[in-house]
Structure 1
Amino acid sequence: MNFIYDRKKTAVIYKDKEHSYYELIKMAKIYSSLMNIEKEDRVAIFMENRPEYMGAVLGVWDKKGTCTNLDASYNADQLIYVFNDSHPKYIITSNENIEVVKKAKEASNSSINILNVDEIDITKDIDIENVAVECLEKDAVAVMLYTSGTTGNPKGVMLTFDNIMSNVDAIEEIKMVTPEDRLLALLPFHHILPLSFTVLMPLKFGCLVVILDELSSEAIKRNLQKYKITIVIGVPRVWEMFHKGIKGKIKENALSYKLFNICKSLNIMPLNKIVFKKIQDAFGGNIKFLVSGGAKLDKEICEDFNIFGFKMLEGYGLTETSPIISFNRIDNVIAGTVGTPLPGVKVKLEEDGEIVVKGRNVMKGYYNKPEATAEAIDSEGWFHTGDLGQFDGDHLKIIGRKKEMIVLSNGKNINPSDIEAEIMKGTNLIQEVAVTEDEKHLIAIVYPDFKVLEEKKIANAKEAIKWEVIDKYNVTAPKYKKILDIVIVKEELPKTKLGKLRRFMLKDLLKGSNLIKGTPDEIVSEKEVEKRVSTSKEINTQEFKAISKFIGTLHDEIEIIPESHLEIDLGLDSLDIVEIITFIQNTFGVDISEEDFSRIKTVEALCQYVREKGGNFEEKEINWKKIFEEPVDLKMPSSKYVIPITTILKPLFTWYIKLEKNTNKLEKTSPVIYIGNHQSMLDAFAFGQALPKDILKNTYFLAINIHFEGKIKKYLAENGNVILIDVNKNLKETLKIAAKVLKEGKNLVIFPEGARTRDGELQDFKKTFAMLSKELDIPVVPFAINGAYDLMPYGKGVPSSGKMSITILDKILPENKSVEEIVKVTRDSIEKSINN
């Protein structure tokens, strides 16, 4: 029986060149003639996606051999592992990978034979007795694929011809694909999903395959339109990319967004196709359905693609199951599930929720690893997937990987991927996020979208992401699911080629390890290693010596190299940035705005900027007193509504909220800096109740502008002694504004934690208030707030009735104290009061 035969039509298109079924079979026959192999001898295929890859697979099968499909990005060490593990007789490669192959062969003393497809003439005339490639025997090992090797060395998964055909037969049985279909191949062929469904299945059915040579949204759209593609198989990252772009444009237009919501409520596919015809046309206008596999797809993305007029079919499987276990059908899609099991596949859940599978699709085993095979496939033939699931009727839903579930000390189980999906919603500041456990609490590792941060002129990525992204998630998250810390990284998170996060590598990121060591599949390329350990000539320059020395005074025991990322590697916050900018101005005579600074990523780039702008070098200390004397554009807010607002709110803090005011230590001297802990939205209003009217009228509050968006709020701030600041921009200007307020004899209220507490605990204090106190010789008056968090924690819209207190503490004089000592004494004083 023939697996593929001459259908007198085009089989594959690559870089706009068409290859017919006859040409593909001829190619296979030529490759086959060059190999001297016996049944099930292994032949490695090691090249990029191209028609020759298809020809190589068919050529090996023509000789009844086993294809060992390898990741085209393998380095020499990874190839050596494969050579030593499975001893392939031949390796079929291309010009792109030939040098790696030669290096691996020499280093391993392997006798493997090398066939370079770019050196083989496939245009020559040959006699072909049967223009076809026959099927293999059912139990013959057709393909061997190496797993990612998340623990220990990668394992060779042996898939029989019957394993492969179990998936193909099931698709044929439900008539999902016809010979008229056109598939876009955009995933690497060494993975079973694209190998099975964009190489083997379409060739068996007689479809057309268009191989993408560039993975970008523009290239995908161009090929979709040009070749009238009907089916696209992708991983969640592909659909996330498109979804983000499409949804973003819809939200930009009020009418489009309204139509989107109407279509969402009605959920009528013909209507969706009409309303969003432009999106349909952008995808070529011929799409029958889209397929997502390889990792979990966010439910919202699946639902939204339906509204765009597409059928999004999510499936589930593993390399060991050839790969499909279950998938949604065109007429029976339930978003958030992976559909119903494949015909002939049995699925059940163990007591702990693990998904186990039995059927034609289950692998023969792991090559030369009987113990690992026995561990995966039990005595009754059930394959243990390691995934946790549940059934929604007859539809399967994936909960998460058994080994990846985070089990907290309180016994709560957390699926990190669910939290990650929630964090990613509604933000364009981050590209990737991974949630893991560190020191018994949840931590988010974030790879920001540096381009967006630059466009928004955000100088401090960590602060922006912490408050604008993570904090918004924490507001609605249960306490045990809250993120208590974040780590910013400057490179993409470690993933497989199909976009699955390699969670076992996250601990290395937290440790700050640049070179991740492990199995051959995890070894970093030599070029990357060389890049990471390179030493820049910058280290001996005057600029680098001075700037790195100054940064060292801001952060003790920190290693500074030219390649150090200013924020991520060195941990610089907004105030550090202001100090560095001021130091550069003083030392080199170079003016640099915070906006310009936000575009500078490394110490080396900062040195180059300083060098290009010129200036004379003169090392000297920063004179903040002089800076605070510089003119600043500030229109002092009016006190028009301070007293009326306080009077209106007095009943609230008398009857509904019992406010206890301990103000016997309050003095009427001015100016002073009032410093308090920040527990809730009640704090500033309660503090206003605690002050006598004559002091209150002379007291100003620093507040973040995002809390006063809208005309009414802004008007009340301008007439209620509130000075609005932007925490992401021009902090130096903010310091000068605060200094001017104090120099004019006014009091200033600052909550130095930067934001309300999210867990009721006292946070670290930022040192800006202490700098003002020290340089202007102005006393600090701490005040402690108790009970407000219980009445109105962050995220609660209306306070509860109850008790809270404001306690004025002993005045702290800056004389003979450093900035750091002022911070410590102030915080200790407040912490002691709230804990008593």
Structure 2
Amino acid sequence: MKPVADSGQLALLSNRKDTMAQMFLDRVAATPQREAFRYPAGDQWKSVTWRETDELARRRAAGLIALGVEPEQRVAIASSTRMEWIDCYLAAVLAAAATTTIYPSTMSSDVAFIVADADVQVAIAEDAGQVDKLREHRAETPSLHKVVLIDGTPLDSDGDWVISLSALDSLGDAYLAEHAAVVDERVAQIKADHLCTLIYTSGTTGRPKGVRLPHSVWTYEGAAVEGIRVLSPDDLQFLWLPLSHVFGQVLVAVQCQIGFATAVDGRIDKIVDNAAIVQPTFMAAAPRIFEKAHARIVTMIESDGGVKARLFHWAFGVGARVSTLRQAGKEPSGLLAAQFATADRLVLSKIRDRFGGRIRFFVSGSAALDKKLAEWFHAAGLLILEGYGLSETAAGSSLNRPTQYRLGSVGPIFPATQVKIAEDGEILINGPGVMSGYHNQPAQTAEVIDSDGWFHTGDIGHFEDEFLFITDRKKDLFKTSGGKYVAPQVIEGRFKTICPYASQFVVHGNKRNFVSALVTLDPDAIVAWATSNGLTGRPYAEIVTSDAARAMVQGYVDELNAGLNRWETIKKFTILDRDLTIESGEMTPSLKLKRKYVEAQYADLLDKMYE
């Protein structure tokens, strides 16, 4: 087993709180006047302090109690990432309730399943569209007795089943007027092992499973991140990640523990614009965001061409040499230092400015980050700290540090967490961040948590020194008919880094005599490419299935194959006439590929490549 927590690691958790509610209230008491959050209000950003956040959360907590919500009963939040999401989440925490999260893109049938399976009492819905989903399956969700609408006006036809968010606030005010101490009394009842969050997995296969996360996992995550000292109260986070995902939620817990401020806006199309305005010191994201940023910058430079492109490539060549030195703990000197100063002033600093100019590091999680992509950003002076965890481990189990990192790894493990590698290479985790089990599914819980408490992650990995490396998902690994194992995620990530026009690259070949791939091209990036290749104004499907597009992709596939083992090389590929989407069921809301679903959907195209 490697590594194992020792007393020194446990000492890093000395500031751990008992419950998520207490962690939040202690933060309010410690820094009441410091900025807690800022969020867009029209064309401006509005800021609120920790005390103001507490006052609003208490009002809404009292409103939930007035609606009859009891300790550990579920309050669902069906909304995109926004300030109201956080306020309502904190309100549920202070009411001793447990939140259940629903992605706003979730189909109505799955919404009904989650609400029924979680026995949700109150649902907080972002808009009329989310209410429609709940109304459509109302007969299947008898426990749901109240819906709170964030945006818009409730319909008269819904009676008092739907109320506005302001009505919830008014209920809270009235209840507090008669029961002034009710929120503090609720908080005092909460125990560390009480349910805080029931988060449903994205479900790359089958129905989503409810992961039961008690208060203790969030207080552990907060204390562990504080203990490894990667963040301070003076940091500023830009949070756009879906708060319905465990990656987004852990960032709220960590913020409550450490006390830094967070700018909140979940509009993905505004990420770059917002970063330039907010000027955060750190931001977390899934790899797809880094892939798209890299692709946009590279395609823009390639379309300009000429001197500008030559200068860009020279600067990144210099940056790459400096990156290699810095990864070894050294700094450039002499001629290289002078070249780097010029490259940084003319090119590399401009890349950093696109993200506000103050980024100390990014954090990448939720899926595998291609090492070459991390190296490209590092050459620009932007360090991406990759971490690792699952919904079942409250998101964080390992993380690279700003002064202790190895690109391509997911870093050293968190204090007091134990990790070991099984004989077949599977990563097993034991520690305070592991879930208490799957909701209503004891058999499936027993399948993943053994009698000694080890959670079987389903991921394949290994250690190099203290750094953990992830190879692939155990279920995604396949063996060709020639008996060779292939790790598709590694190849897919590498191709998306090589090809700036790629959106998805689905590697296939289980029990086949060679490896093939389904390719989709990014709708935004391919427009600029089309303009330079005589296809201006053509429909997307016509562009991507053209001979010119196929030749372009073939060039990048050849480049990919040059770095692969013979049995891994892509012998054939098919470009799809549309991108894979969440709405079509091919991607999870956290942008993970539903591999088996996609392979089933495109079975005819895959089979055709082997005729």
TM-score (norm 1): 0.58
> Are 1:3 and 2:17 counterparts?
no
**1:71 matched residue in structure 2:** 103
Which residue type is aligned with residue 91 of structure 1? A
Residue 99 of structure 1, aligned match among 132, 137, 146: 132
Q: Secondary structure at the match of 1:33?
A: helix
Which residue type is aligned with residue 193 of structure 1? F
**2:493 matched residue in structure 1:** 421
Q: Secondary structure at the match of 1:368?
A: coil
State whether residues 487 and 510 of structure 1, in contact with CA within 8 Å, keep that contact through their aligned partners in structure 2.
no
Residue 560 of structure 2, aligned match among 459, 473, 486: 473
> Are 1:14 and 2:39 counterparts?
yes
Distance 1:24 1:146 in 2: 27
State whether residues 3 and 134 of structure 1, in contact with CA within 8 Å, keep that contact through their aligned partners in structure 2.
no
Residue 159 of structure 1, aligned match among 213, 230, 239: 213
User: Aligned pair in 2 of structure 1 residues 248, 95: CA closer, same or farther (>3 Å)?
Assistant: closer
Residue 62 of structure 2, aligned match among 12, 33, 37: 33
Q: Secondary structure at the match of 1:13?
A: strand
Q: Secondary structure at the match of 1:291?
A: strand
Q: How far does the alpha carbon of each residue in 1:413-452 deviate from its partner, in whole angstroms, 9 at most, with x for none?
A: 1001222233334434432211112671322101124425
**1:436 matched residue in structure 2:** 508
**1:408 matched residue in structure 2:** 480
Distance 2:142 2:433 in 1: 37
Distance 2:603 2:69 in 1: 48
Q: How far does the alpha carbon of each residue in 1:39-75 deviate from its partner, in whole angstroms, 9 at most, with x for none?
A: 2111111112111111111111112111111112223
TM alignment of 1:338-737, pairs within 5 A: 338-437=410-509, 440=512, 441-449=514-522, 450-452=526-528, 454-455=530-531, 456-457=533-534, 459-460=546-547, 463-465=550-552, 467-474=554-561, 477-493=564-580, 494-511=586-603
**2:8 matched residue in structure 1:** none
Q: Secondary structure at the match of 2:24?
A: strand
**2:334 matched residue in structure 1:** none
User: Aligned pair in 2 of structure 1 residues 373, 447: CA closer, same or farther (>3 Å)?
Assistant: same
State whether residues 62 and 183 of structure 2, in contact with CA within 8 Å, keep that contact through their aligned partners in structure 1.
no
User: Aligned pair in 2 of structure 1 residues 310, 503: CA closer, same or farther (>3 Å)?
Assistant: same
User: Aligned pair in 2 of structure 1 residues 200, 475: CA closer, same or farther (>3 Å)?
Assistant: closer
State whether residues 298 and 500 of structure 2, in contact with CA within 8 Å, keep that contact through their aligned partners in structure 1.
no
> Are 1:228 and 2:267 counterparts?
no
User: Aligned pair in 2 of structure 1 residues 337, 120: CA closer, same or farther (>3 Å)?
Assistant: same
Distance 2:552 2:81 in 1: 38
Q: CA deviation at 1:92?
A: 1.6
State whether residues 25 and 131 of structure 1, in contact with CA within 8 Å, keep that contact through their aligned partners in structure 2.
no
TM alignment of 1:182-261, pairs within 5 A: 182-197=236-251, 199-216=252-269, 219-248=270-299, 252=305, 253-261=309-317
Q: CA deviation at 1:512?
A: 5.6
Residue 141 of structure 1, aligned match among 178, 195, 200: 195
Q: CA deviation at 1:478?
A: 3.3
Distance 2:299 2:552 in 1: 19
Higher relative contact order (CA 8 A, sep 6+): 2
User: Please, what is the CA RMSD of the aligned residues?
Assistant: 2.8
User: Aligned pair in 2 of structure 1 residues 410, 430: CA closer, same or farther (>3 Å)?
Assistant: same
Which residue type is aligned with residue 120 of structure 1? L
Range with greater deviation from structure 2 (1-10 or 32-41): 1-10
State whether residues 432 and 446 of structure 1, in contact with CA within 8 Å, keep that contact through their aligned partners in structure 2.
yes
State whether residues 224 and 414 of structure 2, in contact with CA within 8 Å, keep that contact through their aligned partners in structure 1.
yes
Aligned-residue sequence identity (percent) comes to 28
Q: CA deviation at 1:511?
A: 2.9
Q: CA deviation at 1:134?
A: 4.9
User: Aligned pair in 2 of structure 1 residues 394, 11: CA closer, same or farther (>3 Å)?
Assistant: same
Equivalenced residues, count: 514
TM-score (norm 2): 0.78
Which residue type is aligned with residue 193 of structure 2? D
User: Aligned pair in 2 of structure 1 residues 474, 281: CA closer, same or farther (>3 Å)?
Assistant: closer
Distance 2:250 2:102 in 1: 15
TM alignment of 1:263-302, pairs within 5 A: 263-267=319-323, 274-275=344-345, 276-302=348-374
User: Aligned pair in 2 of structure 1 residues 408, 171: CA closer, same or farther (>3 Å)?
Assistant: same
Which residue type is aligned with residue 55 of structure 1? D
User: Aligned pair in 2 of structure 1 residues 428, 289: CA closer, same or farther (>3 Å)?
Assistant: closer
Q: How far does the alpha carbon of each residue in 1:337-361 deviate from its partner, in whole angstroms, 9 at most, with x for none?
A: 0001001111110011000011101
Range with greater deviation from structure 2 (373-382 or 174-183): 174-183
User: Aligned pair in 2 of structure 1 residues 116, 495: CA closer, same or farther (>3 Å)?
Assistant: same
Larger Rg: 1
Distance 1:438 1:405 in 2: 8
Q: CA deviation at 1:398?
A: 0.5
**1:319 matched residue in structure 2:** 391
**1:330 matched residue in structure 2:** 402
**1:701 matched residue in structure 2:** none
Distance 2:227 2:426 in 1: 28
User: Aligned pair in 2 of structure 1 residues 224, 292: CA closer, same or farther (>3 Å)?
Assistant: same
* Unmatched 5+ stretches in structure 2: 1-21, 152-163, 332-336, 536-545, 581-585
Q: How far does the alpha carbon of each residue in 1:562-615 deviate from its partner, in whole angstroms, 9 at most, with x for none?
A: xxxxxx9xx9xxxxxxxxxxxxxxxxxxxxxxxxxxxxxxxxxxxxxxxxxxxx
Q: Secondary structure at the match of 1:89?
A: strand
